[in-house]
């Protein structure tokens, strides 16, 4: 990732870098790579993430439709 520092505003560049890394999922991956995760645990985690994403979508859809 590349972040340009303009007019010696290092704090601003650092903030932009952190945001880019978070959107790319670097922090999330680092957290999961700290220790070994069994394949079954990976599947359980991914299924829970999918379920959470679907429920969030359905909730937004219901709000839009006025339920």
Indicate whether 60 belongs to any domain.
yes
Q: Tens of pLDDT along 3-44? A: 999 999 999 999 999 999 999 999 989 998 999 999 999 999
Tell me if 24 sits within 8 A of 1, measured CB to CB: yes
Indicate whether 2 belongs to any domain.
no
Q: For residue 62, give its domain range.
A: 37-67
Indicate whether 26 belongs to any domain.
yes
Tell me if 29 sits within 8 A of 16, measured CB to CB: no
Q: Tens of pLDDT along 44-53? A: 999 999 999 9
Task: Identify the band that residue 67 occupies on the pLDDT scale cut at 50, 70 and 90.
Answer: confident
Indicate whether 16 belongs to any domain.
yes
Give helix 10-24 / helix 26-33 axis angle, nearest 10°: 70
Reported pTM: 0.60
């Amino acid at each position: 990732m590349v972040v340009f520092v303009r007019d010696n505003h290092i704090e601003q560049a650092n903030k932009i870098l952190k945001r880019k890394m978070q959107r790319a999922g670097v922090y999330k991956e680092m957290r999961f790579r700290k220790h070994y995760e069994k394949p079954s645990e990976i599947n359980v985690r991914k299924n829970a993430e999918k379920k959470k994403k679907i429920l969030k979508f359905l909730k937004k859809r219901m709000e839009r439709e006025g339920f």
